[in-house]
Amino acid sequence: MFSLHRFALPLLFGLAAATAHADDAAIKKNIEAKFPGAKVQSVAKTPYAGLYEVVVDGPQLIYSDDKANYLFMGAVLDLNSQKNLTEERMQKLTAVKFDTLPLGDAIKVVKGNGSRKIAVFADADCPYCKKFEQELANVTDITVYTFLYPLDQLHPESGKKSKQIWCAPDRAKAWDDWMTKGTLAKNDGSCENPVAKTVQLGQKLGVQGTPTIIFADGRRVPGMIPAAKLEQLLAGKPAAAANKK
């Protein structure tokens, strides 16, 4: 998969070839020519600083000047409104329609009245997923759908463990036992299971790490979330604001 992470510093890069006239097609062509493997999904003029928004397959959000001479990476902040414009745009680009998720392929846990809902892509051997499970112990009135999403390149045994957990008589208990107590379900994991389908789904959605939390309104937040921040996000508070102490 193409990644621009290795170009993250400095945040300003010169692109060797310049176009005579600024337009979306020229910017797209220039970036794809200079970064083989990059696939530009869209180019659009922004209302600020004369920048063009460029969405690269991933998705990743970068910015170009009007002649495609320079490439900018990083967050665009509106100091008047105190908003992170890049983060807000990424939330829209990565939004997931919650009701389209195959929830029957997830481990369902209902706490309290279960009125609030999240879906979590989790790896059985991911230490941050285990920390997130500990945080969830402090949250109630929530329904959690956990999709078993082994990252084989990082945790070679996670796929097998995921199948063993799914094949247990009580999947929710088996997941909790493993994540909080280190006790793995005793079976060979050979029952019919959705693990391979979940991996395909996660790749289609661009889930690159675990845990990745998807909220009922479609927002996606990667990484471990403390209970206090999760409560703020469940209440609809923007991620950037929830990060503030």
Whether 48 shows a pLDDT value over 90: the answer reads no
Q: Report the pLDDT value the prediction gives residue 233, as an integer from 0 to 100.
A: 94
For the segment 171-196, what is each residue's pLDDT rounded down to a tens digit? 999 999 999 999 999 999 999 999 99
Place of tokens 């051997």: 125
- Are the beta carbons of 84 and 39 closer than 8 angstroms? no
State the Cα–Cα distance between residues 13 and 35, nearest whole angstrom. Answer: 12
Q: Report the pLDDT value the prediction gives residue 230, as an integer from 0 to 100.
A: 97
Task: Look at 142 and 241; give whichever has higher pLDDT.
Answer: 142
Q: Report the pLDDT value the prediction gives residue 240, as an integer from 0 to 100.
A: 54
3-class secondary structure, 145: strand
Q: Show the tokens assigned to 85.
A: 């414009």
For the segment 57-109, what is each residue's pLDDT rounded down to a tens digit? 877 888 988 777 888 888 889 898 888 888 888 878 878 999 999 999 999 99
Starting at the earlier edge strand, list the strands of the sheet with 116-122: 107-111, 142-148, 116-122, 212-215, 220-222
The strand pair at 83-84 and 116-122 is best described as unpaired
Is the bond leading into 226 cis (omega within 30 degrees of zero)?
no
Q: Report the pLDDT value the prediction gives residue 239, as an integer from 0 to 100.
A: 64
Q: What is the mean pLDDT of the chain?
A: 87
Domain range summary for the chain, segments of one domain joined by +:
5-88, 98-242
Element (H, E) at 88: helix 85-93
For the segment 139-162, what is each residue's pLDDT rounded down to a tens digit? 999 999 999 999 999 999 999 999
- Are the beta carbons of 187 and 166 closer than 8 angstroms? no
Amino acid symbol at 75 = A
Question: Across the strands, what pairs with 148?
Answer: 122
Q: Report the pLDDT value the prediction gives residue 6, as an integer from 0 to 100.
A: 46
For the chain, percent of residues with pLDDT exceeding 70: 88
Most confident listed range (19-28, 146-155, 232-241): 146-155
Place of tokens 């004369």: 50
Q: Report the pLDDT value the prediction gives residue 125, as an integer from 0 to 100.
A: 98
Q: Rounded to two decimals, what is the model's pTM?
A: 0.74
Res. 2 pLDDT band, cuts 50 70 90: very low
For the chain, percent of residues with pLDDT exceeding 90: 57
Task: Look at 52 and 108; give whichever has higher pLDDT.
Answer: 108
State the Cα–Cα distance between residues 1 and 146, nearest whole angstrom. Answer: 26
**Does the domain at residues 98-242 carry the CATH identifier 3.40.30.10?**
yes
